[in-house]
Amino acid sequence: MHVQIKRVYEEPGEADGIRILVDRLWPRGLTKAKAAVDIWMKEIAPSNELRKWFAHDPVKWEEFRTRYIDELKKNSQQVLLLRQQVEKGTTTLLYGARDEEHNEAVVLQQLLRK
């Protein structure tokens, strides 16, 4: 199982495999064709409340991770669906945030590797 993460605004590549968008909101200014998203799993993304609270503030990162993992535990069906997709082969989790180290795709990648 090979799970990588990539900003959705980056060019799609042959090595991406299945491209799964894990954001609740569609990325601004990006067409579906340009994004080349195979699956949009908006239900696995952080809740609107958590997303707004976090606001991609690195100071809140550890608390965000904890709260997001708690949400994922209550959303086991979506996690199972994601695991099933990942088992099919190389997968790229796509996110829209500018911060490459502090976003939901990082948390999901770590979760899937366990």
Q: Using one digit for the tens of pLDDT, what is the confidence trace for 68-95?
A: 999 999 999 999 999 999 999 999 999 9
What is the spatial distance between Cα 100 and Cα 7, in angstroms, rounded to a whole number? Answer: 8
What is the spatial distance between Cα 114 and Cα 96, in angstroms, rounded to a whole number? Answer: 24
What is the spatial distance between Cα 21 and Cα 53, in angstroms, rounded to a whole number? Answer: 21
What is the spatial distance between Cα 83 and Cα 88, in angstroms, rounded to a whole number? Answer: 9
User: What angle do helix axes 76-86 and 61-74 make, rounded to 10 degrees?
Assistant: 90
pTM of the complete model? 0.94
For the chain, what is the domain count?
A: 1
- Whether 114 has a pLDDT exceeding 90, the answer reads no
Range of the domain at 20: 3-113
The continuous run of DSSP H or E covering 94 comes out as: strand 91-95
Contact call for residues 38 and 19 (beta carbons, < 8 A): yes
